[in-house]
Structures are given as structure tokens and as C-alpha cells.
Amino acid sequence: MRSERERRRDAFLGLLGVRPAIMGILNVTPDSFSDGGRFASPDLALAQAVKLVADGADIVDVGAESTRPGHTPVPMDEEWRRLEPVLAPLLASISAPVSIDTYKAEIARRAIALGVSVINDVWGLQKDPDMAGVVAGAGAAVVIMHNRETVVPEIDIEADMRRFFERSLALADEAGIPHERILIDPGIGFGKTKAQNLQALQATARLKATFALPVLIGVSRKRMFGDLLGAGVEGRLIGTLAANLATLALGAAVFRVHDAAEHAAAFKVVHAIETA
């Protein structure tokens, strides 16, 4: 018999390719670029998770370490101290699956033990050598995100993403992670110039075709929209929606966002047009 964690995992995976899936962002951090400190207490975090699901999120992605440019790395014990009081009540209060935004294998192992279904690794299984084994052993799904230590403006970013994903997928295969439990993420805002971020988004359809995997897009309220539109963090929603609708048309499957209700409405309009 499937566990509740597996049921939630399969409910999420079953959406992919059927309709756009919304991954609601829940940061329990003091320093995330958009909402740092707003949901640091367990009660506030739980209320926000319930709201995200009510607004249309299909999965809630919980992060306890900011990965914004210039962030301060968080020790494992501190990351878990932020997560532990949130995860159990959150999983008990919502029926939607929960993912954890971490690149540390021990955090992933503990979170999965509590019922988390998906690991969202911003280093694509390449930072912690134990991560692929933890994901495989627990039967979790995984998001493999492209990342770079440094920004190099002159490189071909699409070629770099292909090489990175090939390495990550080799690690996944060696560990025994089934292909059908893997998603890829071009990693917008991670180790890329403004131009490379746009090129990475433009590559959505080609990445999907090359790797035959669902593509997750995470552009919510990113600085690139501030640069393009001259908008502050709260004014970047229109840019986020535009980028997500553009990549939806290119075949993206999952959209990691702060604003679930607005995206649910936008996707509903797209669906109505497509099926008119």
C-alpha cells in the first residue's frame, strides 16, 4: 500500500503534462529577497501555506535558506531548526504535496521522514554527494536546477545547462532515481547574466525535448523584472506572469511562484482560450 507521502508525490507528478502546475513558495527565512522574515514563525508559515493552497497552489515548496545572490550560507542545524516546527503541522493541515528547497542531503532525509514528497535541489544533486542516494532510497521526486558558482558572460548558457543536466542525470541514474520522478529547472537568476536569464527561458522547449523531462520555471519576482520594468519587488508580478505564460507556451510544466491566485487565474484564461 502506498504511503501518504507517496500518494502526494504521485498526485503532483500526475499533473505534469495535463495542466500547468503551481508550486507555491513558502520561505521560512529572515533574508529571502522577496518575503524574508514574513513567515518565520510556525503559525504565520502555516497560515501562508493554507492560503497558497486555497489560492490554487498544487504543491507548497518550503525553504529555510535563502539562495538569493550574496546570501549567507546557513549551517545544517540552523536550517533544520527553522524547518522542523513548520513541516509536521503543515503536512497535517494541507492535503497538497510539500517539497523542500534544500541542497543538503541530511535536511532532505529528515524532511522526507516527516512526509515531504519532493526535493527541490538548487545544485541539481551536485553539491552534496549523498543527495542522489537519499532521494532514490526514499522514493522522492526531485527538481534538478541548473546553477553556477560564477557568472561568465561570454559562455553559451544553453550549452552549459545541457552539460550540467547531463551530469546531474548521470548521478540520478547511478543512484537509481526513476526518470519519471525527475524535473529540470533552468535556474533563472543563478549564475547568469540578465541576457543569459532570458536565453535560458527561451531554451525551455529545447531543454524539454532534449531531456524528455518536465521543466519547472522559477522566475517569481526576480530582479530581472526590476531591471526590465523599473519595478520594485512588489511590482514585479506582471513580469512574472508574462514570463510564465511565455514559457507555458514553450512547454513548461510547473511554475514556482509567490502569487498563486494570480497565476491560477491566468492559467484558467489560457485554458479557456485553448479549449474554446
221 flagged as catalytic: no
Nearest partner of 47 among 111, 93, 107, judged by Cα: 93
* Residue 253 zone, left/alpha/beta (φ > 0; ψ -120 to 50; rest): alpha
Rounded Cα distance, 176 and 246, in Å: 34
Is 167 one of the catalytic residues?
no
Question: Is residue 101 within 8 Å of 62, Cβ to Cβ?
Answer: yes
Whether the CB-CB separation of 23 and 229 falls below 8 Å is answered with: no
Q: How far apart are CA 271 and CA 253, in angstroms?
A: 14
Residues 10 and 19: their CA atoms lie apart, in Å, by 15
Catalytic residue of the set 222, 223, 236, 268: 222
Q: Are 116 and 100 in contact (CB under 8 A)?
A: yes
Compute the distance between CA of residue 5 and CA of residue 11 in angstroms, rounded to an integer.
Answer: 10
CA-closest candidate to residue 83, choices 141, 28, 142: 28
Question: Which residues on adjacent β-strands are paired with residue 256?
Answer: 23
By annotation, the residues acting in catalysis are: 222, 256
